[in-house]
Structure 1
Amino acid sequence: MLRQYELVERVKEYDPDADEAMLNRAYVYTVQKHGTQTRASGDPYFSHPVEVAGLMTDLKLDQETIATALLHDTVEDTLATIEDIESIFGTDVARLVDGVTKLSKIEQMPEDERAAENLRKFLLAMSEDIRVLLVKLGDRLHNMRTLHFIKSLEKRQRIARETMEIYAPLAERVGMYEYMREMQLLAFEQIEPDAFRTITKRLEQLRAQDGGQVDAIALAIKQALAEAGLKVEVSGREKHPYSIWRKMAERHVSFEQVTDIMAFRVITENEADCYRAMGVLHTTWQFLPGRFKDYISTPKTNGYRSLHTALMYENSMRVEVQIRTREMHRLNEFGYAAHWAYKQGDKPDGQVGWLRDLIEIVDTSHDAEELLEHTRLAIYQDRIFAFTPKGALFQLPKGATPVDFAFAVHTDLGAQTVGAKINGRHVPLRTPLANGDVVEIIKGSDAEPQLSWLGYVVTGKARAAIRRAVRLKERAEVADMGKKLFDEIVTRVPAKVGKKALGAALERLDMEEEEDLYYAIGAAKIEDREVMEALVPGCTADIPEVPDWSQSTLSIRGLTPGVGYTLATCCHPVPGDRIVGTRRSGERVEVHTIDCHELASGIDADWIDLNWGKRAAGAVGRLRVTLYDRPGTLAEMASIFAQNLCNVKSLEQTQLDNPFTTYEIDLDVQDVTHLNRILSALRASDAVAQAERI
């Protein structure tokens, strides 16, 4: 563990003007506050924040970040408050500590929820100050280094999975490859211990048989470049076990078939020498087609710059080579942390683009599951490059389509997409893009995102925006239907309903806008009488209720007295249908229509002949109704339901396929005659393309 004076000296080495007194206060404060607390390893707890601060000094970060690293657990794990931190260390440090603390207050949440909430808070905090992320990544890296001290296998694997799925990809997206690789390696050891041991053992065997081969290849590369007049540094290394295992899994090959286990790095003096070095290597050894990538002219979204190539060395050995300048190497290994000037509070250039997309995903995701899905899509996949007709460059995941491209350019452009051209040719919207494609998006002013796009888009931003638009459209249509029903409800109250009465009703119903009320009515989330009572309190006292057939008495003949029954949800029998019962030992009798598809497919149960009683009335009927996708059709359907005195129990949009929209609707009906009357009215309507009973 770093001693107090050692930590301060580290900071002073790269920042002679650092506030030594503040750093000393932060060190002493964390030691005092954590006191006798210990970690799973048995070490004093304060050793953890001190080591995290040490990691931040390796990145040469500013004094506020070092202080934040020292203090990052005090608010969460001791009696210290953010107000205490602010009074002693200032507003900037308090804000950073608060940002890191918020990311840690979710350990008791269910795993998926916790991961989603962690991600949400992560992204929002990052948008305000990237240093919050840098401290959190240092915190996670040190925790992973000491993970083996935790006794619970389940807890170790949970932390390792979270690291692999969230923290390592985020480290990659901010260009901190050293952190990413170490996190992946440590997580891999916990998640796949057998695979880790096997690959590690094979690498040890290769090393023993190597006979200095890595050094020999590195020397050969350096000599070839020196003969061409290039001054370079060359180093060789094995790929780490997780990288090898992932390649084995992706290519479905054995360890022996992974031929590019060795990788070499060439460090040049300037950018021009990178391309000269590549030319020398390609003329000295055979170049493997399809394996060259130029990340210098087109950097990755995290700012990574390098040339990547693969060569066939002697004895048919494949080797990977990365070529970069010293400055590129520094920025590549530590990403935005290397960009951060400790005397300058500006955010690093390039941070905003991909981070803006992630923040938009946070805003548009519907729930925890969606947020995780969309964000993982945004931070994981390999990239391709595509251009607008004016030459603007956009990076997208492999498999991206013109729709993904449109949303990458701007959310509004994505929403208005009606067609696309790739390299001047009209193509279907589901066409995958290739590297270097020029994509022209054709838009329509009245266009809107289509549900069918979810079948082929691959970016998190596109999926989040499409789902949000579809939800909003469905909500608007249900609200239109609710408005029609509301107008009918208003005719039943004994007073004229104006803006004042409607505003008071919204307040009584704890709703903010008229749209909320119309949606609640259309979605059958509120009863007519509740709306009437909210509009004119006391007006429903002497008004008979609209029939609720579901509350009517059902009687069925053919059952032994006292035997319970349920109406099958596969066919929704209603009084007047021919019915039959199925009985399994120890279960209630299930009542089906005689032509139910479930019965036709065979049910392992005893059959019972049943009939409705003479006074049987009231059940739930289910319809599938396909409407023309144009304004007013949903409201017209609602009017038909109101005229036929039936309550809508539930309404769900099941298909959106221009120019039609299909809904499944559960209705309270009196009997089969009542249901058929509703079907006839629907089929006679110009708004309805098709209506059938399910």
Structure 2
Amino acid sequence: MPPQAPAVSDALPTLEATRTAAHIHYADRRLPSGEPMFDHATGMSDILTRLDVADDMHVSAYLFGWLHGEHTAREREAQLESLGHAWGGEQSHRVSNLYALMHLGERAKVKSSSDKNANPDMLAQIERVRKMLLAMANDIRVVILRLVSRLQTLRYYAKNKVVCPVDVAQETLLLYSPLANRLGVWQIKWELEDLAFRFAEPVTYREISKWLDEKRIEREDFVANSIAALDRALKVQNISAQISGRPKHIYSIFNKMRGKQLQFADLYDIRAFRIIVDDVKDCYGVLGVLHHLWQPIPKEFDDYIARPKPNGYKSLHTVVVGDDGRPIEVQIRTNDMHQFAEYGVAAHWRYKEGGFKNGAVVTTEQSAYDEQIAWVRQLISWQTDLTHTLAGQDKAFKLQDPHIYVLTPDARVIELPRDSTPIDFAYHVHTNLGHLCRGAKVNGQMVPLTTKLHTGQTVNIIAVKQGGPSRDWLREGFTNSPRAKSKVRAWFNAQATVEYIAQGRAVFEKELQRLSKTAVKHDDIAQSLGFAKTEELYLAFGREDMTAHNLEELFKSQAPVEPTKPAADANWVSAQANKGAVGKGGVLVVGLDDLMTQLAKCCKPAPPDEITGFVTRGKGISIHRSGCDNFLNMQHQHPERVLACTWATRAGTRYAVDVLVHAQESVDLMKDITDILAREKILISGLRTVRQGGTDSRCQLSFSLEVENTTQLQKAMSALMQVTGVAQVERS
């Protein structure tokens, strides 16, 4: 067990005492990079010295690894308690948060290249990890400590010429350097980028290094000398200005060359100044002095004050040739313009991270969360300028993010509203996962589904293979996100719809049977009633939006209009009087060629059946099949009423026939029969099923059909005999 923290005293340990305690505590322990932990802490403290922060930050740097090596939660809690007794609760809390942030990279791996044109989903994941990192740190100073720690790690790799893992370098470029940029910690941002780029793209890094024919120190000396010369010239003109040099770094050069597709020789801002003055008049005054002092490059002047960019950005941009013959890019603006560019919609970090599209900078809308970032940057700047300690500004340094950020088992970051539960998490990952959710593990431990999640936790959903949500999930406590609640409601609405459709179909088919319209296609009825799909028709009947009355009105409206001649569906035959023996030709009756007749319902003849007419009393001529039992009986009693008839069928006429099918019951029997009838274009106008007794499950199906002729019917009957289970098919 490593040495414990020193005993608590009236005053908290000094920085020197903390350094001594850390040296004893860390002993010979090393970080995964191989760097001794005490050397890492010392390096962090040296970097913080450049940032001009208060001593409590240096104390935190030496305590950074106090929890490293403690493998159980109980051991870490014991160390935190000991730390709190010795250095106070604030340091204990800070070290705990720093420990969580340093282990975030192990759980939320950023697996991608540093290309700005990468997959949008991957870029969104990176942005969620950034927000997650900030959300996990209640104190923004913890984020700064994490940035400093990463910079010290990269310095260790570079100094000792140790191979840096590529994923560490990429994580720095994608996660930590953009955060340093957003927080305005310029002193360490460029070093993070250049060191990470050196390890992530070593070949490209060496090429750009060769292009730069001067070392960074030499470039910065040149910038410093140029600033001094410009400052003297401005004082002569009584112009007060703040001049800051912006020497371009290797990673910045690489980004600009890639983003604007430029060659190295085409870059004008390898070295750059930013000049801030009090008013617009002085902007143009500085421009005149600048162009008098150094030779301007033609066509490289942009007046964004007279013609602001669409996003409101204002500034003067020019490029001049320095004393050594190399170009210098200069930006001139007022304080208000600078504030807008730094903290408004044209903020520098948006330019750096937005990428390029068709030569233009891609930006996004500014959010309340981004405004908090801007406010933190101002606080850091004020703290440096006024040498105030960060103590006493805790509230201002706490980012109030309305979201939490949790991890899936495969390290994907999920952004959820605060107070979300495992059910909210499941529905955010996938709707079906939410429906099938039955339990959850948080950081490997089973938890109730009402558990509120917190940033940094890893959530694993336990799901069943089939099922659905519970109505209890709509109660407060189970789901707290609008998305999850809407998904649960949608599921129950869909279930109700399925039930309505099933009920509606049963009602609809029953009404068709009552109206003797079972042969009419459901799709045709749906279209006639204004429904795009048949399911919508069933749903309307299930919800009672449609009733039998609507069907009756539909069929009435489709009934044929009575013409002056007999109806179109009337069946006509040519009847001829019997002159002596009935021959094949036949004769006319009382000089008439045609008589309206009716087809007998007892035998239901259809062409080309042999037919014979029988003169009825008051109902015209009844046409029977020649072998009809009823006709033979009437012929025996009244032979004088018999007429020889031949078919004279009009095109498109259908005839009603009855067919009896004897078969063995099976699941597919009805489907097979109806498929054959549909293929032969025979309409079914009625069906009656009779189950016969016994153990062989035989049945008798009586079909009422509508055919054009018996040839069509015979073809269908032959096909029906081939159906499995069919024993006999006959006309009735």
Normalised to the residue count of structure 1, the TM-score between the two structures is: 0.45
Please identify the structure whose Cα radius of gyration is greater.
2
* TM-score under structure 2 length normalisation: 0.43
